[in-house]
Chains A and B, each alone.
Chain A
Amino acid sequence: MRIRNKAWAWQATTAGAVVAVLLWFSHNLSANLAIRGMQVDFAFLWQRSGFDIPFRLVAWDNSYTYGYALVVSGVNTLFAAALCVVLASLLGLLLALMRLSGNPLAVGFSRTSIEVVRNTPQLTQIVFFYFAVLQVLPPMRQSLQWGSGIFLNVRGLYIPSPSGVLWDWIVAGTCIVVLLVAVLWRRFSWHELPRIVVLPPLLVAGVVIAGFTASWELPALKGFNFVGGIRIPPELLALVLGITIYTSVFIAEIIRAAIQGIHHGQSEAARSLGLSSGQSMFLVILPQALRILIPPLTSQYLNIIKSTTLGAAIAYPEILQIFARTVLNQSGRAVEVMTLVLGVFLAINLITSAIMNAWNRRLALQGR
């Protein structure tokens, strides 16, 4: 009985202290806001913003509201993060394979680049790509050119844009088929190969086939600017390059650890059953390595989403840059703006870890 009382006393004291601090904060906050004649009010989200967002994937002009600016910048954040996740995974896989190849040159190159990249700050790498590489490129008229459709200059990278009815249908169709196959995988018991080995190439193949049917619009210099094609701004390029390279070395180490973590007896057993080296890799080693891989890979993907905020250093219009800088400066609503920005990142993090945890649980169960 006495122990129970003591436990309650402990908890009550802790809770009391936390509540007291929070009350003190909120008292100070309301006093400070009262001096400025303000109160916490989210109504400003419906006000006209009046500023431009230089890069966006959805409709925007300065007559849209502050609230909608959060959507536009949020889409920019997720777009950059998605690009980085795909590219960093591929580059990380390549570096890991080089490291495991046994070829002294490839091992040395992989080890050196991993050590250099992971011991220098990510911010240094991003601003290096932006200020030292992309901002010193030649102007429009002296663009670097590859083939007849790819141009690189100080204003960004210009690539051809595909269009056409057939292109639209084949791309949409491929996406639906890949999604269906992914969901129904277990039902058809196509478990000879792991999904992750089959689905991405399927998607790529579909897009390539669609590419042959599309009519490609090439960017072309008209007067002072390029017309047609797609422009990738240098801010996005630098951010994606910086995050991709930085994260890929961590992913490479994770993949290497996972593959080396599979007991040697597994591949020996596979060989003695008469499986070829490719079969033993894809059917025995990789499915097991994937299971070890997922938890640390998840935290790297979450790091990518968090790292997109570094875009604020080079003015890529992501959430922090647009919302915590432009909108906050214009509206002066510090509490509301920071609450929203922190809330968005917390939500993204919690949702991603929930999804990855669920996937991890399914994979972990599969083997038993």
Chain B
Amino acid sequence: MQAIGRVPVLGALFGTRLNAVISLAMLALMAWLLPPLFRWAFADAVWEAANRAACQAAGTGACWAFIRARFALFFYGLYPEPERWRADVGLLLLAVIGAGALLARRHKGWWLLALITVAPVGGGILLAGGVFGLKPIPTPQWGGLLLNVVISFVALAGAMPLGVALAFGRRSQFPVVRMLSIAMIEFWRGVPLLTVLFMGLVLLPLFLPGGVTVDNLVRALIVMTLFTAAYMAETIRGGLQGVAKGQSEAAEALGMHPMQVQVLVVLPQALRLSIPGIINIAVDLFKDTTLVSIVGLFDLMGVVTQSMKDPAWLGLAAEGYTFAAVVFFLACLVISMGGSLLERRYGQASRR
């Protein structure tokens, strides 16, 4: 025991009696878990086959041929094949403007403005069509990962201004405004997302004038936006509380209007402080967009569940959901990485 303790790797693993027991238990756990997993996912997996029966004949592992056969469906849903370039261009537009807002050294404000105006309007026109000679594509045909991205982006873009308004409302000195903001925030934070998605589905049409029909996707977008805004409001409120009182006092002493003080001095610093919280909200939101599959939209989860019912690929749940999990994992990783980049760039000034 004594001798082992001084060897670099072995010492950390088997240096003390307790450590040795933990190490052996972990090794046993991994020996039990990893080889079957590796065999299923790689060694015995089938990458090329025409249908499930051919897959099972070729190997006992995962049938990744199913994912390959349905790849386009998982990404675009039923979006018609000749028009898919529009989805690609739309996502590219979003990616370029997003990257610009993250990386630009100058004109940061313009890039951000483009992100909340050009990106949604341009992307919306590209996807929906109906103008500039683009063939109109009804929203029930939008699907797959495309839908998850669209819902997350719209909900996040809508929740930012709403969240800021609610956060200021909750700190307002006017009791009526404060009470209304608190009621709004606590209602949305107190109910499960799935319940309010159901509410949007069955109640929203009843609250609108007779004859007005609201698109299923729009209903989900409204609910997701309001839901996210409530959480956003609490995060931004935390940021507002973190701004030193001296800042607003100094701004007032300079003769700024109370509105200017809040918008030009307090809010930018508060947003900077809330970046980590906002990134968390964005990751949660992206994962939560899967819930729309339960209320009849065909996002990635919905399309995977639907594809498993296809007789040719019947019941390949493990493959389908593993693929979905990997895609979401990678997407969340990208959001987190973008987030830490954002934090480094915009959080910098406060550290100096």
Contact = CB atoms under 8 A, between A and B. Distances in A.
Interface of A: 7, 10-12, 14-15, 18, 25, 28-29, 31-33, 35, 98, 101-106, 109, 116, 119-125, 127-128, 131-133, 135-136, 306-307, 309-310, 312-313, 320, 324, 328, 334-335, 338, 341-342, 345-346, 349-350
14 contacts: A11-B175, A14-B177, A32-B206, A104-B13, A105-B23, A120-B332, A121-B290, A121-B301, A127-B317, A131-B308, A310-B194, A312-B294, A334-B206, A346-B187
B291 interface: yes
Interface string B300-344: 010001001000000101100110110011001100100000000
A119 B283 contact: yes
A334 B23 CA distance: 56
A127 B305 contact: yes
Contacts of B308: 131
Contacts of A103: 12-13, 19, 22-23, 26
A349 B192 CA distance: 10
B174 A338 contact: no
A132 B41 CA distance: 14
Identify whether the interface residues of A are mostly helix, strand, loop, or mixed: helix
Contact of B210 (A35, A105, A116): A35
A184 to B, nearest CB: 34
B183 to A, nearest CB: 10
B202 interface: yes
A136 B293 contact: no
Residue with the greatest number of chain B CB neighbours at <10 A, chosen from A15, A125, A127, A341: A127
Nearest to B209: A28
A77 to B, nearest CB: 10
B321 A127 contact: yes
A105 B173 CA distance: 54
Contacts of A33: 206
Interface of B: 9, 12-13, 19, 22-23, 26-27, 29-30, 173-177, 180, 187, 190-196, 198-199, 202-203, 205-210, 283, 287-288, 290-291, 293-294, 301, 305, 308, 315, 317-318, 321-322, 324-325, 328-329, 332-333, 336
Contact of B321 (A12, A101, A128): A128
Given A121-B328, A124-B324, A350-B190, A109 B26 contact: yes
Contact of B195 (A124, A345, A350): A345
A239 to B, nearest CB: 13
Nearest to B14: A103
A136 B314 CA distance: 12
Contacts of B9: 104
Residue with the greatest number of chain B CB neighbours at <10 A, chosen from A11, A116, A123, A310: A123
Contacts of A28: 206-210
Given A33-B206, A106-B26, 15 more contacts: A10-B174, A14-B180, A103-B19, A105-B26, A116-B329, A121-B325, A123-B291, A124-B290, A128-B317, A136-B318, A320-B194, A341-B195, A342-B199, A346-B187, A349-B190
A346 B190 contact: yes
Contacts of A25: 207
A33 B203 CA distance: 11
Identify whether the interface residues of B are mostly helix, strand, loop, or mixed: helix
Contacts of B22: 98, 101, 103, 105-106
B329 A309 contact: no
A320 B203 contact: no
A335 B206 contact: yes
A98 B325 CA distance: 25
Contacts of A116: 329
Nearest to B287: A121
A320 B202 CA distance: 13
B180 A18 contact: yes
Contacts of B329: 116, 119-120
B245 to A, nearest CB: 21
A102 B15 CA distance: 11
A44 to B, nearest CB: 15
Contacts of A98: 22
CB-CB nearest 3 A-B residue pairs: A131-B317, A306-B192, A132-B318
Contacts of B315: 131, 136
Contacts of B205: 32
B165 to A, nearest CB: 11
A252 B288 CA distance: 21
A102 B324 CA distance: 33
B191 A120 contact: no
A345 B191 contact: yes
A127 B323 CA distance: 13
B74 to A, nearest CB: 13
A313 B210 CA distance: 31
A307 B332 CA distance: 20
A359 B168 CA distance: 30
Contact of A309 (B174, B176, B195): B195
Nearest to B24: A105
Contact of A338 (B187, B192, B203, B336): B203
A275 B196 CA distance: 53
A320 B198 contact: yes
B194 A105 contact: no
A345 B301 contact: no
B177 A10 contact: yes
A120 B19 CA distance: 31
A144 B287 CA distance: 34
A326 to B, nearest CB: 13
A29 B158 CA distance: 26
Contacts of B26: 103, 105-106, 109
B55 to A, nearest CB: 15
